Structure 1
Amino acid sequence: MDSYGLVENKLNKFKIPFQVVEHPPALTTEEADSFIEGIEGVRTKSMFLTNKKKTTYYLVIMDDQKRLDMERIKEITGEKRIKMASEDSLMEKMNLPAGVVSVFGLLNNKEKDIQVYFDQEITKESRMSFHPNVNTKTIFLNTNDIFKFLKSINFKYSIIDI
């Protein structure tokens, strides 16, 4: 089954409604935003981070217009050093190439060893958008359904102020 098919099947299995917009490949958040103008929902970006020793991994989800404060993330996680994870780590942990990272990549994380963080600012929005493991589609879901999805696949998450 293809990467998107896995996402669609899981959402249907958990009876989570969603809206999909197909578009040309989007390599940046700006490009993706241009394909979904006028559709309600916060545009998210998901960053896959790791500590220096690559022993702990983090998925940080926030508004795509916001800049990530790495010092704040270090404070929240208790890490001395934190950085963007490599493409190799992304492939190993989520079976995804760079540019399509989202909560849906957690479907491929068999070890369930990625810590998930949402910026509290976006949790106040009614809907969120993500790439569903491909960069040729954008999927919109109700915010509460994102949390339902994570619970359904046995992932805990934290809501943080970044």
Structure 2
Amino acid sequence: MTDEERAQKVFDALDSMDLKYEVFSHPPVATVEEAKDHWDHIRGSKAKNLFVRDQKGKKHYLIVLEQDKPLNMKWFSEHFGLDKLSFASPERMEKYLGLQPGSVSPFGLINDANKEVVVYIDEEIMNEGYVNFHPNVNTMTLNMACEDFKNFLKATGNKVHFVTIHMSV
């Protein structure tokens, strides 16, 4: 699937849900640091998305938090009663979310047909009224109201937890 097809699949899904969004194009960005140069003019929270797995590789999680907030995965797994976590491989990312490294996004949930990925979203990113994520490609940023984003998450059917992630290092 091409980048254009990946993005269009997201747009089609959002349109079918009658959700409103705005799209901003920019050069490819694989990290939050690279993206910051292109985000200044876009309203709302900017997030980083971490795709992780448990030690046995049986459970997969998408952790969404504010772009500059550090995450101590040991604290996270202990606090939320999960087994030890580590980053998932690119192969797992493709299998469960249909995504490539550098383009991880909650919109990858549209590719999780079996609803296996559990999502943890730091409530802090919902504080600015709007959120920003890649539409499954790292050459665009999709901006939408938090309420529309919540409706998208509900429609995916994946288990979603809105939590407080502390600044733990």
Report TM bin, short chain. Answer: over 0.9
Report the aligned-residue RMSD: 1.2
Aligned to 1:43: 46
Q: Deviations over 1:120-146 (max 9, x none)?
A: 211222001001100010000111111
Structure 2 residue aligned with 1:28: 31
Q: Are residues 1:106 and 2:120 paired?
A: no
Partner Cα distance (1:9, 1:76) in 2: 37
- TM-score with structure 1 setting the length: 0.95
The answer on whether the counterparts of 1:21 and 1:36 sit within 8 Å (CA) in structure 2 is: no
Q: Deviations over 1:85-131 (max 9, x none)?
A: 11111111111110101111011111101101111211222001001
Q: Secondary structure at the match of 1:15?
A: coil
CA deviations on 1:33-61 (whole Å, 9 max, x unpaired) are 21121221111111001101000010000
Q: State the shift of 1:71 in Å.
A: 2.2
Rounded Cα–Cα distance in structure 1 between residues aligned with 2:118 and 2:7: 22
Q: Distance in 1 between matches of 2:92 and 2:79?
A: 22
Is the CA contact 1:119–1:159 (under 8 Å) kept in the aligned structure 2? Answer: yes
Question: Measured at CA, do residues 91 and 48 of structure 1 come closer, stay the same or move farther in structure 2, by a change above 3 Å?
Answer: same
Give unmatched runs, 5+ long, in structure 2: none
The offset of 1:28, in angstroms, is: 1.4
Deviation of 1:21 (Å): 0.3
SS of the counterpart of 2:19?
Answer: coil
Runs of 4 or more above 2 Å deviation:
none
Q: For the Cα contact (< 8 Å) 2:117–2:159, is it kept in 1?
A: no
Gap regions ≥5 residues in structure 1: none
- The amino acid across from 1:57 in the alignment is H
Is 1:10 equivalent to 2:13 in the alignment? yes
In the alignment, the residues of structure 1 paired with residue 41 and residue 99 of structure 2 have an alpha-carbon distance, to the nearest angstrom, of 28
Aligned length: 162
Match of 1:139 in 2: 142
